[in-house]
């Protein structure tokens, strides 16, 4: 009997040992010198966590910040990146940047949109309408590649949800409970602030590649898009890369998750209801079972 | 088990109907009068929770299907349209995506409950086997559902898993091409996965009916593992006792579910699935959803492709034989001191394999996955059969009522002593 029991306990101990050894071994891949690129980005630094107005259970977007972010998108990023899933009218939706209908109409009319064919069978250009999706600078992917040294700038609509990073064990469990769901935004801020020129000597770059701290593999085909003072802020907000990057990342978080405010608001009501309901059921259950010995 | 089931139709119409289709009597005997062991703990709520999650998946799924387009150039956009333009579409989509995870959470707890309390043993073998079949169908359904949004992970996950069939000798390639409906994962694959993803949940619902039917023949197991000896002494009627207790347990589970849906809806998913599927760009890591990770680790632990596939499928198929692999006549781990330790080691093995499945297959991770895979099979094929022969169980209580009274008495004695 005690023999079997100690067999069980040793199985437990061996199991623990295996896991710990494996984790330690795997943290240091044998043939990747520090700082060198490895295929899966094990040693990549984790972008610092930022404070976001839209984080947490009561989070809401900061309208002024979304409007500044849109300005950066329009003046800088849209030169290369598309925004296929967002229509002009969305800019006036509740829970968004809060442009007025008039502003959206005027804004849309600033863009040329391809339409047609008309009665004579010709395609033509017309001023944009609020229902149009934001058009792209390039007619197709290959044109964008050709202008960017062969690299395709990804569509930005859901970019903030399409990027992330691993914080490793045990954070991937803890993050669910501390509601750390803004990794995409932190990553974008990281990328925009992560350029280093010249790169560390251990990294060889091809022409058209730039060194970036936070890019997995550190090689990025996007030249540093933002510099201090590049975009005007009429409201006196500091015109620094740090500020720009937070504003554009907030804007991209909204384009990726336009129903975030509605979701969190609904969530609060559901939670309050469920907790009250659980409380009532708990006392009902106690009452019902009171005279049963169990 | 027949207990105090005596449905008496109250109106003339009910009597008329009952003598033609006795469905009210069935409901009455299954959910009202059904005798439930009075010592059940909250681990017994997870069967009900799993049934609820199945219903929730069907309801949200049917609504999603009204707006979803199964075509490779439109699938991704149609899901985004649901998120952006359909009223409460975000809620349906997030409830469905996280609901799949919650369904697996409930079913895993339900399975480990059965393992701990020996619920798979005679006379519940058929009940158990039906459960394993439900689990397999769920895995197939969730796998095909994950392909539908047609993101990078949808595409590459489908590619990796369907390619496994090519490991079958001689006919493997032909089978894979037949599954794909072409020479790679493409539009025909998406269409058939959509069709099957809609069909399988209803097959699961059918097997759930059989599962519950079998349950109502043998009756529920309970934490002592001792069968009900006397209905009046050992059990309480399902309603109100189990109904209100299960309702409380379920609402607590909904709080967890709501937490994920409303506050961290994307945390269980993979960021890569918000990138459109691209057959020309392979993601750095192809990782399945968390509920497949232990099996994915077993698949990759074996150095040969065919061997990996066989190991992965047998890691689940073994459970079909568990009632006969376990030689112990005692059901509950409460009275099996050594089994109890091995049970927890097995739970840790499962979690460890899950972790390893999420890591790249290199260096120490591979070695650890091999050791844990070996241990996984050792537990089921060697330790479980031998334990029943060598372990000396603790004395069993004479009945459920006795065990309840004994634990009451020991609590009383402790209170008195203080
Ligand atoms: C056993 C029950 C079910 C499970 C476990 C399940 C699981 C899943 C999963 C994991 C996804 C991918 C979610 C995502 O990442 O976006 C999905 C998508 C989908 N499912 Fe299901 N599902 C079930 C039942 C159903 C039913 C009954 C229907 C239809 C009647 C359905 C319709 C859909 C549709 C249209 C999608 C694509 C939309 C989307 O990706 O959100 N599902 N399902």
Listed in sequence order, the residues at least 6 apart from A55 whose beta carbon sits closer than 8 Å to its beta carbon are A179, A180, A181, A182
Residue A190 in 3-state DSSP?
helix
Query: What is the distance between the alpha carbons of residues A152 and A145, in angstroms, rounded to a whole number?
Result: 5
B291 lines ligand 1 (CB under 6 A): no
ipTM exceeding cut-off 0.85 for this assembly: yes
Distance B204 CA to ligand 1 centre (A): 14
Query: Cis omega (within 30 of 0) on the bond before B61?
Result: no
Is the C-beta atom of B78 inside 6 A of ligand 1? Answer: no
- CATH for the stretch B293-394: 1.10.287
Instruction: Give SS3 for A140.
Output: coil
With 0-12 CB in 10 A as exposed, 13-18 as middle and 19+ as buried, what is A225? Answer: buried
- Closest-CA distance of chain A to residue B177, Å: 31
Ramachandran bin of B247, using left for φ above 0, alpha for ψ from -120 to 50, beta for the remaining angles: alpha
Q: Does the predicted model carry a pTM greater than 0.90?
A: yes
- d(CA B67, CA B83) in angstroms, rounded, equals 10
Assess whether the C-beta atom of B199 lies below 6 angstroms from ligand 1. no
Among candidates A287, A15, A268, A71, which has minimal Cα distance to B263? A268
Sequence-distant (≥ 6) Cβ neighbours of residue A290 within 8 angstroms: none
- Look up residue B248 and give its two tokens: 């409380």
Q: Quick check: CB of B102 below 6 Å from ligand 1?
A: no
CA atoms of A248 and A69, how far apart (whole Å): 4
B242 in reach of chain A (CB within 8 A): no
In chain B, where the domains are located: 36-286, 293-394
**Model confidence pLDDT, tens digit, residues A253-262:** 999 999 999 9
What's the rounded Cα separation, in Å, for the pair B160 and B138? 19
Terminal C-alpha separation, chain B:
43
Query: Residue B408 — very low, low, confident or very high, per pLDDT cuts 50/70/90?
Result: confident
**Would you write out chain A's pLDDT as a tens digit for each of its 294 residues?**
456 666 666 666 666 665 555 555 444 443 333 333 334 444 678 999 999 999 999 999 999 999 999 999 999 999 999 999 999 999 999 999 999 999 999 999 999 999 999 999 999 999 999 999 999 999 999 999 999 999 999 999 999 999 999 888 889 899 999 999 999 999 999 999 999 999 999 899 999 999 999 999 999 999 999 999 999 999 999 999 999 999 999 999 999 999 999 999 999 999 999 999 999 999 999 999 998 988
The reported pLDDT for the residue numbered B410 is: 77
pLDDT tens track for B227-246: 999 999 999 999 999 999 99
Cβ within 8 Å, pair A30-B247 = no
Query: ∠B38-B41-B42 over CA atoms, to 5°?
Result: 130
B23-35 as b/e: b if 16+ CB within 10 A: eebeebbeebbbb
What CATH topology corresponds to B36-286?
Cytochrome Bc1 Complex; Chain C (1.20.810)
pLDDT at position A42, please?
47
Q: Does A5 touch chain B (CB under 8 A)?
A: yes
Distance, in Å, from the CA atom of A39 to the CA atom of A201, rounded to the nearest integer, reads 19
What is the per-residue pLDDT for B3? 44
* Amino acid B4: pLDDT: 43
Whole-angstrom Cα distance, residue A227 to residue A236?
A: 17
In the predicted model, is pLDDT for residue B20 greater than 60? yes
Q: Please, are residues B225 and B331 in contact by the beta-carbon 8 Å criterion? A: yes
B178 shares contact with chain A (CB less than 8 Å): no
Tokens of B188: 């025909």
Output the CA–CA distances (angstroms, integers) from residue A68 to A88, A253, B346, in the order listed.
16, 13, 54
B235 CB near ligand 1 (under 6 Å): no
Whether ligand 1 lies within 6 angstroms of the CB of B271 is answered as no
Name residue B237's beta-bridge partners. B35
Contact A258 B84 (CB under 8 A): yes
Which residues of chain B are within 8 Å of residue A164 when distances are taken between CB atoms?
A: 271
A22/B contact by beta carbon, under 8 A: yes
3-state helix, strand, coil in chain B (%, to 5): 70, 0, 25
How many angstroms separate the CA of residue B86 from the nearest CA in chain A? 11
Q: Does the beta carbon of A169 lie under 8 angstroms from any beta carbon of chain B? A: yes
Q: Which atom of ligand 1 is nearest to the CA of B137?
A: 1
The ranges assigned to domains in chain A are: 2-84+155-288
C-alpha to C-alpha distance for A159 and B63, rounded to whole angstroms: 26
Closest chain A residue to B367, measured at CA:
A22
| Lookup: tokens for A171 | 């954070």
Q: Is A68 helix (H, G, I), strand (E, B) or coil?
A: helix
Name the nearest CA neighbour of B292 among B160, B189, B184, B168: B160
Flag if B352 and A154 touch (Cβ within 8 Å). Answer: no
Chain B stretch 38-97, residues whose beta carbon is closer than 8 A to a beta carbon of chain A:
38-39, 77, 80, 83-84, 90-91, 94
Q: Which of B80, B96, B289 to mutate to test the pocket of ligand 1 (most atoms within 8 A of CB)?
A: B96
- Pocket of ligand 1 contains residue B97 by CB under 6 Å: yes
Q: Could you tell me if A53 and A61 are in contact, meaning their C-beta atoms sit under 8 angstroms apart?
A: yes
User: How many other β-carbons are positioned within 10 Å of the β-carbon of residue A109?
Assistant: 15
DSSP state letters, B86-103:
STTHHHHHHHHHHHHHHH
Q: Can you tell me the distance from the alpha carbon of B378 to that of B346, in angstroms, rounded to the nearest whole number?
A: 10
For the domain with range A2-84+155-288, which CATH number is right: 2.60.120.1030, 1.10.760.10, 3.10.20.30, 3.40.50.300? 1.10.760.10
The stretch B220-227 carries a mean pLDDT of: 97
Closest residue by Cα to residue B203 from B262, B130, B285, B287: B130
């Amino acid at each position: 009997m005690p023999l079997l029991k100690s067999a069980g306990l040793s199985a437990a101990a061996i199991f623990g040992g295996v896991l710990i050894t494996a984790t330690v071994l795997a943290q240091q891949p044998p043939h990747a010198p520090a700082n060198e690129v490895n295929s899966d980005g094990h040693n990549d630094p984790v972008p610092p966590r930022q404070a976001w107005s839209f984080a947490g259970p009561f989070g809401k977007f900061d309208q002024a910040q979304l409007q500044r972010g849109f300005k950066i998108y329009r003046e800088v990023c849209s030169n290369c990146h598309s925004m296929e899933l967002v229509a002009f009218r969305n800019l006036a939706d509740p829970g968004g940047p809060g442009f007025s209908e008039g502003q959206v109409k005027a804004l849309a009319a600033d863009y040329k949109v391809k339409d047609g064919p008309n009665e004579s069978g010709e395609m033509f250009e017309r001023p944009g309408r609020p229902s149009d999706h934001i058009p792209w600078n390039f007619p197709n992917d290959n044109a964008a590649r050709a202008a960017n040294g062969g690299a395709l700038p990804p569509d930005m609509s859901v970019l903030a949800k399409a990027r992330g990073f691993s914080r490793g064990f045990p954070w991937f469990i803890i993050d669910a409970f501390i509601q750390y769901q803004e990794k995409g935004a932190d990553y974008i801020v990281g990328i925009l602030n992560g350029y280093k020129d010249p790169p560390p000597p251990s990294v060889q770059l091809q022409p058209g590649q730039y060194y970036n701290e936070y890019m997995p593999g550190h090689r990025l085909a996007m030249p540093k898009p933002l510099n201090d003072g590049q975009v005007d802020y009429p409201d006196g907000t500091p015109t620094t890369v740090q500020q720009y990057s937070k504003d554009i990342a907030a804007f991209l978080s909204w384009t990726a998750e336009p129903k975030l405010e509605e979701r969190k608001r609904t969530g609060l009501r559901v939670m309050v209801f469920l907790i009250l309901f659980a409380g009532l059921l708990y006392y009902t259950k106690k009452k019902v079972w009171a005279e049963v010995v169990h | 088990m027949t207990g105090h089931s005596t449905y008496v139709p109250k109106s003339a119409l009910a009597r008329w109907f009952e003598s033609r289709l006795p469905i009210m009597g069935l409901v009455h005997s299954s959910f009202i009068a059904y005798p439930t062991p009075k010592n059940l703990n909250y681990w017994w709520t997870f069967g009900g929770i799993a049934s609820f999650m199945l219903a929730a998946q069907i309801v949200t799924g049917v609504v999603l299907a009204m707006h979803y387009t199964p075509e490779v150039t439109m699938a991704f956009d149609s899901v985004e349209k649901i998120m952006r333009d359909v009223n409460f579409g975000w809620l349906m989509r997030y409830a469905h995506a996280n609901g799949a995870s919650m369904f697996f959470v409930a079913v895993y707890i339900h399975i480990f409950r059965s393992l701990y309390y020996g619920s798979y043993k005679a006379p519940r073998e058929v009940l158990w086997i039906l459960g394993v079949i439900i689990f397999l169908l769920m895995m197939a359904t969730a796998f095909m559902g994950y392909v539908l949004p047609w993101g990078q992970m949808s595409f590459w996950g489908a590619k990796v898993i369907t390619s496994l069939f090519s490991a079958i000798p001689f006919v493997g390639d032909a089978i894979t091409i037949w599954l794909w409906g072409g020479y790679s994962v493409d539009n025909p694959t998406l269409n058939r996965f959509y069709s099957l993803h809609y069909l399988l949940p209803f097959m699961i619902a059918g097997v759930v009916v059989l599962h519950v039917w079998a349950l109502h023949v043998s009756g529920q197991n309970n934490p002592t593992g001792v069968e009900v000896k006397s209905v009046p002494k050992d059990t309480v009627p399902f309603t109100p006792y189990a109904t209100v207790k299960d309702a409380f347990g379920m609402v607590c589970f909904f709080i967890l579910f709501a937490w994920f849906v409303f506050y961290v809806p994307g945390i269980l998913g993979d960021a890569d699935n918000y990138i459109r599927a691209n057959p020309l760009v392979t993601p750095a890591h192809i990782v399945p959803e968390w509920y497949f990770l232990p099996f994915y680790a077993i698949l990759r632990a074996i150095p040969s492709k065919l061997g990996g596939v066989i190991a992965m499928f047998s890691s689940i198929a073994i459970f079909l034989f568990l009632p006969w692999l376990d030689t112990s006549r005692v059901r509950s781990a409460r009275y099996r001191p050594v089994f109890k330790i091995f049970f927890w080691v097995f739970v840790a093995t499962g979690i460890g394999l899950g972790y390893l499945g999420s890591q790249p297959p290199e260096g120490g991770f591979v070695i650890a996955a091999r050791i844990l895979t070996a241990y996984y099979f050792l537990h089921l094929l060697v330790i479980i059969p031998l334990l029943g022969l060598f372990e000396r169980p603790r004395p069993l209580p004479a009945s459920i009522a006795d065990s309840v009274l004994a634990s009451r008495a020991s609590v009383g004695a402790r209170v008195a002593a203080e």
